[in-house]
Structures are given as structure tokens and as C-alpha cells.
Amino acid sequence: MPERLKLYLDQMFRLDVAQALRGEGHDVVRASEVGQDRTDDYQILQKAIAENRILVTLDDDFGDWVILPLSKHPGVIRLKVNPTTSRNVIELLLPFLRLHSSGQFKNHLVIVSPRRSKWVYTA
């Protein structure tokens, strides 16, 4: 059985994405559920780090170290999916998460697309 992951969903994800992840047994918090629906990326990342949660985002800024430097963190998963419908996000993210444990994400930015995943060590 896959590990239950602690995830923090960035503000662009809808409730149905969170529900699908929770249905798989993951501990999920959405930024919009905790008053961060209009918060900047730095604060989103800091909240995920404070709660020891892997951040899941669609935001390209999480790969730009000039805009948002990453050092020690539980992990960031940046999804590259087009179109960015909830269904496409769920179909990409759920199978990917089934293959990995929380320890693998620590201090990594993982860029996940339908064809591949790229792991970048950031610490």
C-alpha cells in the first residue's frame, strides 16, 4: 500500500483534486482552505514547510531560484499538464504519488509531466 503523504495544494487547485487525493488516503490541505487563496508564492512555500507538507503546484516560479529560492523543504511537485483541468491533474498526480515515499521528495523540486518527471536537488 502506498505511503500516506502530507500534501499542501497551491491555490489554483479545486476541491475535487483535494478530494481525489484524500480518497487515496493522503493528508491534504488546500491553500484556499486556510486563508491563503490570494497569498504570494513565498508565503505558500513557508506554510508548507512549517507544516512539513510537500507542496503541489502548477506555478512555474517554483523552478526559478531567483524569484523563489529553495533550500531545505519537504519537497515541491510542479505539475506540467495541458489543459490544466482537475481531471488531467488527478490522472497525472495520483499514479505518480503511488510510486514514491515522502523521504524521496525532501529537498527536491520534481517537475512532473505526462511523459516524464525531472528531479532537481535544491538544498
H or E element that contains 44: helix 41-50
Q: Where are the domains of the chain?
A: 6-121
At 45-67, the pLDDT tens digits run: 889 999 999 999 998 876 655 44
- The b/e string for 77-105 (b: 16+ C-beta within 10 A; e otherwise) is bbbbbeeeeeeebbebbbeebeebebeeb
| Of residues 101 and 1, more confidently modeled | 101
**For position 43, what pLDDT does the model report?**
87
At 67-123, the pLDDT tens digits run: 456 678 899 999 999 999 999 999 999 999 999 999 999 999 999 999 999 998 887
Q: What residues form DSSP beta bridges with 112?
A: 79, 117
**For position 82, what pLDDT does the model report?**
94
For 6-121, the fitting CATH number among 3.40.50, 1.20.144, 3.30.410, 3.30.1490 is: 3.40.50
